[in-house]
């Protein structure tokens, strides 16, 4: 069975500082990894994905994520946080040869302080 | 890009009534649609997966007779909450995956904006 862990319920960061939202996964086979963002009372918006190729994936709004196979991680990062980045962030995984239905983490609330 | 709409965005109903929520893929064919339920500040709970033209596959613990899902075409899926009760109040989100023009089919899901259901 595949699974995703987002170990932090909440991440607090000051505006202008770098941010990291952590995600680790477990799958059989090669993973497909996704990050989504959700603003209050909205659906999820796609940020970025890793399928194959470069381990560093660049996505929307200046976000990026690094696929680390040895650590089974796919942490979301941004060099300089904005107050408008405050939202709920979800990591998801599916796999080649495994379940095609993505499994979502429980979400991490990012709060960027002015 | 791939756009998914949901209607209505918000609904308030009396206990015992049924509510239908529509999910549409506007610019691509959604071979698979997903229905999620989200509680406040909580993760998404997958309720069911539906493929066009076939019966939905429900997750364990989700009542099939209470949450009726129909996926009659490649662009439309509906969720009907039958005989709704206050405990059914929640944020319901649909998503769709399929072949997007110029894109990949690597199981990426495109989410609707969600429907806030309040049962009085």
Q: What is the DSSP letter of B55?
A: P
Residue-level pLDDT at B105: 53
Residue-level pLDDT at B109: 84
Interface test with A, best of B97, B103, B106 (most A CBs within 10 A): B106
pLDDT digits (tens, 9 = 90+) for A26-80: 998 889 999 999 998 888 998 999 988 899 999 999 999 999 999 999 999 999 9
Residue-level pLDDT at B51: 85
Interface test with A, best of B45, B108, B114 (most A CBs within 10 A): B108
pLDDT digits (tens, 9 = 90+) for B48-68: 999 887 889 999 999 999 999
Residue-level pLDDT at B101: 60
- Smallest CA–CA separation between B15 and chain A, in Å? 23
Mean pLDDT is highest, among A11-25, A32-46, A83-97, for: A11-25
**Interchain contact A43–B (C-beta under 8 A):** yes
Return d(Cα B79, Cα B114) in angstroms, integer. Answer: 12
B111–A43 CB contact, under 8 Å: yes
Q: Predicted confidence band at B81 (pLDDT cuts at 50, 70, 90)?
A: very high
SS3 state of residue B34: strand
Return d(Cα A83, Cα A15) in angstroms, integer. Answer: 6
Return d(Cα A65, Cα A19) in angstroms, integer. Answer: 11
B42–A107 CB contact, under 8 Å: yes
Backbone angles phi, psi at A35, to 5 degrees: -125, 135
- A9-35 average pLDDT score: 95
- A7-24 average pLDDT score: 97
Q: How far is CA B20 from the centre of its chain?
A: 10
Q: Predicted confidence band at B104 (pLDDT cuts at 50, 70, 90)?
A: low
How many residue pairs bridge chain A and chain B with CB atoms within 8 Å of each other?
54
CB-based contact B93:A44 (threshold 8 Å): yes
Tokens coding A76:
């979301």
């Amino acid at each position: 069975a595949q699974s995703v862990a987002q170990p932090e319920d909440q991440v607090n960061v000051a505006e202008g500082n770098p941010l990291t939202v952590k995600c680790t996964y477990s799958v059989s086979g090669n993973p497909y990894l996704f990050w989504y963002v959700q603003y209050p009372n909205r659906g999820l918006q796609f940020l970025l994905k890793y399928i194959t190729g470069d381990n560093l994936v660049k996505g929307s709004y200046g976000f990026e994520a690094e696929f680390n196979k040895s650590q089974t991680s796919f942490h979301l990062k941004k060099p300089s946080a904005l107050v408008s980045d405050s939202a709920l962030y979800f990591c998801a995984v599916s796999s080649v040869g495994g379940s095609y239905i993505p499994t979502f983490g429980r979400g991490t609330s990012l709060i960027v302080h002015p | 890009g791939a756009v998914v709409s949901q209607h209505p965005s918000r609904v308030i109903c009396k206990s015992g009534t049924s509510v239908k929520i529509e999910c549409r893929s506007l610019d691509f064919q959604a071979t698979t649609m997903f229905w999620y339920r989200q509680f406040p500040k909580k993760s998404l709970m997958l309720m069911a997966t539906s493929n066009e033209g076939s019966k939905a596959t429900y997750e364990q613990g989700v009542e099939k007779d209470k949450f009726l899902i129909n996926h009659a075409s490649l662009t439309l899926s509906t969720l009907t909450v039958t005989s709704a009760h206050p405990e059914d109040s929640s944020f319901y989100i649909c998503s769709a995956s399929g072949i997007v023009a110029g894109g990949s089919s690597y199981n990426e899901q495109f989410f609707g904006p969600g429907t806030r259901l309040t049962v009085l």
